[in-house]
Every structure is written in C-alpha cells, then in structure tokens.
Amino acid sequence: MTEPLIHATNLHKSFPGTGRGEPPVPVLRGISLDVRPGEMVSIVGPSGSGKSTLLYCLSGLEPYDSGSVVLAGRELAGLRRGALASLRRRHVGFVFQSFNLIPSLTARENIALPARLARQRVQPTDVDRALADVGLSDRARHRPGQLSGGQQQRIAIARVLALRPEIVFADEPTGSLDTATGADVLHLLRASAQEERSVVMVTHDLEAAALADRVLVLRDGAIHGELRRPTPEQVLEAVATARTTA
Amino acid sequence: MIRLIASDLVAEARIWLGIFAVTIATGFVGAIAAGLLETGGFHGGEVEEGLSSTSSAVILFTVITALIVLGSTANLTISLQLRSYALWQLIGVRPVLVAGVVLAQLGIVGAVGALAGCLVAIPIFPSLFAWVFREWSAMQGISLHLGIGSMLLVTAAITVTVLLGGLRSARHAGRTPPIEALRDPEPPRIKMGWLRIVLSLAVIGGLLGLALNLDGDASMSALSGQAILLTPLIAALFAAAGPLLFPAVLRMWTALVPAGVSATWFLARNSARHRLSRSNAAIGPLMVAIALTGGLYTTGATLAAAQAVRTGSDAGFVLASEGVVILLGGPLLLAGVAAAATVFMSGHAREREFALVRAVGSTPGAIVLTAVWEAVIYAITAFILGITATVVGGCIIAGVLALPAPVVSISAVGLIAAGGLILLLAATLLPTAAALRTEVPRALAVE
C-alpha cells in the first residue's frame, strides 16, 4: 500500500477563551486520519465543528497543540516558518473561499506566482495549459477585479494545476459561487485528484462533498463518521445525525 | 444612524486616525501662518510688512501642500472603506444617504482634527516666533495674536478642503452597487477628471505668466520674491496631473529593473504600480516636500550665482536655518505626516494580500523585503518627480538671469528624499510586521 501524503495522529487544538480567565475552547479533539495519493477527501460537519481548523492544521497554516501531522513525509511540528513556507511551496496548493488572487497581478501572473517564489523558471506553456484547462485562456491578462467570482476561483485552480502540487487544500471553494459555476469548479477539483495528487476539501455543499472518494463527518472537533463514495443523501443523513447528537 | 456612524468610526479607527493626524498637522501649520498674519495686522508698520512677506510665502507653500495632502488623504480614506459602505447599502441605507454620511464622517473628523491642531499651536506659537525672529529687532517684545476667529477660519478652510477632496469618492461610494463593491473592494482607478484638467490648465497659465514676467534686469530681492514660487507651482502642476504623470514615471523607471531579478521585486513593483493607479497619496506628499526644499535651495543658490556674476559677491542669499524652518517647516511636517499616514492607513488592506502570498509559499522575510522594495519604489519615484520640478524651475530662473545652468541643490533634495524614505520604511514595516503576526487562516477568513 502506498504511503499516505497526509498522516495525522491524535491531533488536538484549542483556541484561547474569549474573556479574561476563560478556559481555552477545544476545537480539535484527537483527530487521526490518512490521505493517500490520488484520493479526494471531503470534510463536512455542522458549523463550528472544526472543519476549517482541521484543514489549516493539516496544511501547516495553523499550529496545533499536540499530536502529529506528517505532510509529504515531513513532520510539521517544530518546523520553522521558513521551512513550512518551503514545504507549502513545493508540495501544497490552496483554493480558498474568497481572496484567492493578488489584486495587483494579472491572472497569468497569479498563476505563475508560486513558481516565482520558488525561484523556478516560469514555463509559459505550463501557465497557458493551466489557463486552457480551466477555460480562461482569454482572461490571461485580466486582473482579479476584472474577473467574476467564479473566474477568480477557476484561476486559483489553474494556479494549483500549473504548480502540480501533491496535495490541494480547498476551503469552501464553492461557498461564494452560484450552483452552475460551483459545479464547474468542483469538477475541476475532482479532475485534479488523480495519480499522485490528492485533494482535501472542506465544504457545506453536500452534493460537492459526495464527489469525493471519502467523506469525513466532523462533530465537536472529532471524526463522527466516515463514508466511502457516498450519495448526497447519505452525506445529508450523516451530517443531520452529527447535528442532532451534537 | 448616529450609532452606525460612530461604530464605523471605531471599527475603522486605523483609517480614520490617518486623516485625523493629517488634519491635526494641517491645523497646526495653518494656525501658525494665521498667527503671523494676525500679529502683523494688529501691530501694523514694520512688523506687518515683515510678517506679511514671510506669512504670504508660508501660506502659499502650505496651501499647495495642504491641498495635495488633504485631497489625496481624504480620497484614500473613503476608497479604503468601499466594502463597509457596500454593507451599509445591503442593510438598507439609501445610496444618497451613504454619500451624505460618508461626507459627514469626513467633515467631523476633519473639523475636530483641524481644531485640535490649532489648539496645539497656541502654546507653541510664542516660542517658535521668538526663535524664528530672534534676529529681527522690530519683532522683539511684541504681543502675539492668534484669536479664535483665525482658528475657526483655519478649521473651516481645512474642513472644506477635506470635504472637496473626498467628494468624488463619497459620490462613488453611494453610486457603486453593493455587490460590485463586495466582489472587488479595491479602490477605483483615479482619473484625470474635469476638475484636475481645469486645475492643471490654471496652474500652467499661472506658471507661464510668472515665468514670462520674471525680469532678469530687476533687483535680486525683487526677482527672488517671484522666482521662489516657480518650483512650488511646477510641483502643484505635477500633483494635479498625478493620475497621468505618477504611474507613467513609476512604470518608466521600474521597467529598467527586470521583473525576473527576484520575486520580491516583482511583487513590490506590481503592487506599487497597481496602488498608484488607485491613489496618489503615497507619492504626492513626498514629491511636494522634495520639490519645495529643492526649489528653495536651488532658487537661492542660482540667484546667488547670478549676484556673484553681477557684483562679484553672493552675499544676501545664504538661507538662515530659521528662515528655512518658517518657510518649509510646515509643508515638510504636513508632507511627512501624510506620507506616513497614507502607508499606515493602507496597511490593513495588505494583511490579506500578505497572508495569501504566505499561503502560496512565501517566507515572512520575503514579505518584509517586498514591503521594503515598495517603500523604495515610492521614494525614488517621488525623488524623480521632485528633482524634475526643481531642475525645471532652476532652468527657468537661470535662463532669465542668462546663466548657463541652474545651481541645483542636490544635497537638500537628497536629504529630504532620504528622510522621506526612512519615514516610508517605518510606516511600511510596522504594519507589515503586525500583519505577519496574524495567522493566515484568520487573515483570509471571509468577513
């Protein structure tokens, strides 16, 4: 069996209490999971269940309190900020719900940015191919302000495709989009999860979640259930159960 | 509604503090100039003659700087909050009311800041006056006057300037459909509107009139009174034509350094280009400071050179430190406060941008370096524009005086540019360091 790209063990994370002397609020309580190459994993659950925090802890954007995350063969705990940045640059791509693009750069420049940061020669053909893959070849010279929300999201996916990372983290990638545009974005993400590349996606959209190979249902910072290739109805039922027992 | 205005002022305190600081500085400088005029008017005779010639130059320099600084800062204040104003519309505030409330906020902050600046000037005015005019026998022991009427006049003038500066953006805030502002919260591009075109043409007319009326055969003291105004007017022309001129100059010289030199340079260059197309506030104040200083010293040195050719002596054209302080102190203070405030105000807007760059693999060090490059780009662009105004002004004076070339005071210009760069670096690095302390997920969270 192939080595997992992400291997998390007994992950704990708390946020400080809101008031003075308030106890910390636990957000993740002992989560363990593996994500294997070529796999698409969706994380669903009620609001406040810790979905986004888990995604950010797995990707090294958020420090965790205890436990372990091994990402692309490197244990994240103890890595300095520079080393984390380097790890993200080489192995990870991100698609956020909004603000995915630098406003001062064109679509083409945004796509090529990670390569620039890694001091790699930017191959115009890679950028062109990525733009073509998301159907936005004619928007290469447009700035984010001149693109619709869906187009911005597709450019963010093009950035991921051009970078060819091993793992793509997507946080509510369709949260700001209409149904049709959201479906386009999801199919692009689904298609990008192949061969050596994995996708981990947090979503409220149950249809979107059902596109994944595995769906993890979170409740109160712990994995409440796991579904393999579920239907949207099965995801709905699992989330409803998590909500009622929360 | 009052609750909404108040809570918005608190929530966006960082932005409002910027314009507040600028209006305090303007109120302070304006009150000092008003105090000179009022004191001269009260005493009459030799005192009035001495003070009115000084205060008219101070007022002209201050007015040019204040118009540029207040206008651009007021415009930036509103542009940075378009997203908030869109949310107001979403909760049912009528577009026309949005513009009205925005102007009311601007007017309140402008008036309070200006009045505070005037009040700060009251205890400082006597000691500043005593130091500046310590060599003038007629000024010794005279009573000083800075009345409530003068202060209210200064406050009103500043408030009106701030309101005019923010008028276009306020109307834009009311007219922009909320969904558009939420989708693209970037400030709109600044354009050469009719007001700027009229202003530019008026300044060109004034400049031509002044240049053509310079009489090379007149006495040096008569000539100096007019010649000293040339460079400030050129700087005013540059500022009025800023939307065309500033981005063009920045684009031209930054193109000399290839984008591939480093990712930090690439990001800084693009960001500076992009931001300058949205607001001139990062460059305008520093450009004016450089031009005023360079113009004053270059005019003095060129006139001294002409005097030396005529009489064999350049006596009478050495700028005393107190003269420089009274002429340039106010405008430089204004320009410095505005340059720093502008960068400080925009800092929060950069937080998400920095977070995104970190998410895609940039190190914190690279982000700091990007911020440094951007400050350097602004300072060099302001230097190029300021030195151009200085040299053009100097060339006109040299031409009138039949000198082969002006005596350009590079050291004075360089000193102000270096000071401006330090100020911009400080104003850039502090918010950048603060932004780097915010966790990426928090910065990128949907508001």
What was the pLDDT predicted at B326? 79
Q: Considering the domain boundaries, does residue A1 fall inside one?
A: no
Looking at chain B, the number of H-run helices and the number of E-run strands are: 17, 0
Residues B148 and B259 in one domain: no
Q: B141's torsion region: left (phi>0), alpha (psi -120 to 50) or beta?
A: left
What was the pLDDT predicted at B182? 65
Residues B183 and B93 in one domain: yes
Q: By the CB < 8 Å criterion, does B446 face chain A? A: yes
**Per-residue pLDDT band at B187 (split at 50, 70, 90):** low
CB B290 within 8 A of CB B387: yes
Residues B64 and B75 in one domain: yes
C-beta atoms of B359 and A119 within 8 A: no
Q: Any idea what DSSP says for residue A75?
A: E
- How many structural domains are present in chain A? 1
Q: Considering the domain boundaries, does residue A114 fall inside one?
A: yes
Q: Considering the domain boundaries, does residue A39 fall inside one?
A: yes
Q: By the CB < 8 Å criterion, does B136 face chain A? A: no
Residue B186 predicted with pLDDT over 70: no
Phi, psi for residue B409 in degrees, rounded to 5: -85, 85
Between residues B210 and A195, the one the model is more confident about: B210
C-beta atoms of A90 and B361 within 8 A: yes
Q: By the CB < 8 Å criterion, does A65 face chain B? A: no
Between residues B365 and B181, the one the model is more confident about: B365
What was the pLDDT predicted at B116? 97
> Who among B266, B352, B441 is closest to A56 (CB)?
B441
C-beta atoms of A114 and B361 within 8 A: yes
Q: By the CB < 8 Å criterion, does B189 face chain A? A: no
C-beta atoms of B359 and A96 within 8 A: yes
Residue B62 predicted with pLDDT over 80: yes
Average pLDDT estimate for B151-156: 95
C-beta atoms of A144 and B184 within 8 A: yes
Mark which residues 334-363 of B lie under 8 Å from A by CB. 352-353, 356-363
What was the pLDDT predicted at B181? 65
Pick from B124, B122, B154, B149: nearest CA to B26 = B154
Pick from B169, B165, B190: nearest CA to B245 = B190
Share of chain B above pLDDT 70, in %: 94
**What single-letter amino acid sits at B329?**
G
Between residues B195 and B383, the one the model is more confident about: B383
Q: By the CB < 8 Å criterion, does A82 face chain B? A: yes
Q: CA A212, CA A205: separation in Å to the nearest integer? A: 12
Nearest chain B alpha carbon to A85: B361
Residues B161 and B256 in one domain: no
Residues of chain A found within 8 Å of residue B352, distances taken between Cβ atoms: 99
Q: By the CB < 8 Å criterion, does A120 face chain B? A: no
Q: Considering the domain boundaries, does residue A148 fall inside one?
A: yes
Residues B215 and B135 in one domain: no
Q: By the CB < 8 Å criterion, does A141 face chain B? A: no
Interface test with chain A among B266, B360, B440, B444, by most A beta carbons within 10 Å: B360
C-beta atoms of B357 and A103 within 8 A: no
**Final residue belonging to a domain, choices B168, B187, B206:** B187
C-beta atoms of B361 and A52 within 8 A: no
**Per-residue pLDDT band at B395 (split at 50, 70, 90):** very high
CB-based burial of residue B87 (10 Å sphere; 0-12 exposed, 13-18 middle, 19+ buried)?
A: middle
C-beta atoms of A101 and B356 within 8 A: yes
What was the pLDDT predicted at B43? 86
**Sequential DSSP letters for A144-184:** GGGS-HHHHHHHHHHHHHHH--SEEEEESTTTTS-HHHHHH
Q: By the CB < 8 Å criterion, does B368 face chain A? A: no
Q: B182 vs chain A: nearest CA distance in angstroms?
A: 11
Show the domain range for B206: 189-447
Q: CA A242, CA B13: separation in Å to the nearest integer? A: 41
CB B116 within 8 A of CB B80: no
C-beta atoms of B439 and A88 within 8 A: no
C-beta atoms of B446 and A97 within 8 A: yes
What is the value of pTM for the model shown? 0.83
Between residues A92 and B53, the one the model is more confident about: A92
Average pLDDT estimate for B358-364: 86
Q: CA A145, CA A135: separation in Å to the nearest integer? A: 18
The interaxial angle of helices B95-132 and B148-175, nearest 10 deg, is 150
The most confident of the ranges A148-162, B89-103, B112-126, B209-223 is B112-126
Residues B159 and B299 in one domain: no
Q: By the CB < 8 Å criterion, does A176 face chain B? A: yes
Show the domain range for A28: 6-245
- How many structural domains are present in chain B? 2
Residue A59 sits in a domain whose CATH number is 3.40.50.300
CB A230 within 8 A of CB A40: no
What was the pLDDT predicted at B28? 94
What was the pLDDT predicted at B447? 56
C-beta atoms of A104 and B356 within 8 A: no
Q: What is the pLDDT of residues A111-158, one digit of tens each?
A: 998 888 887 777 788 899 889 888 889 999 999 888 888 888 889 888
Q: CA B370, CA B76: separation in Å to the nearest integer? A: 22
Q: CA A73, CA B89: separation in Å to the nearest integer? A: 50
C-beta atoms of A89 and B366 within 8 A: no
**What single-letter amino acid sits at B105?**
Q
Look at strands A92-95 and A222-228 and give their pairing.
Answer: unpaired
What was the pLDDT predicted at A241? 85
Nearest chain A alpha carbon to B273: A104
Q: Considering the domain boundaries, does residue A154 fall inside one?
A: yes
Q: What is the pLDDT of residues A67-100, one digit of tens each?
A: 999 998 999 998 888 888 888 888 898 888 877 8
**Final residue belonging to a domain, choices B165, B187, B209:** B187
Residues B265 and B343 in one domain: yes
**Final residue belonging to a domain, choices B187, B210, B234:** B187
Average pLDDT estimate for B57-85: 84
Q: A114 vs chain B: nearest CA distance in angstroms?
A: 6
**Per-residue pLDDT band at B438 (split at 50, 70, 90):** confident
Beta bridge partners of A228: A214
ipTM: 0.81
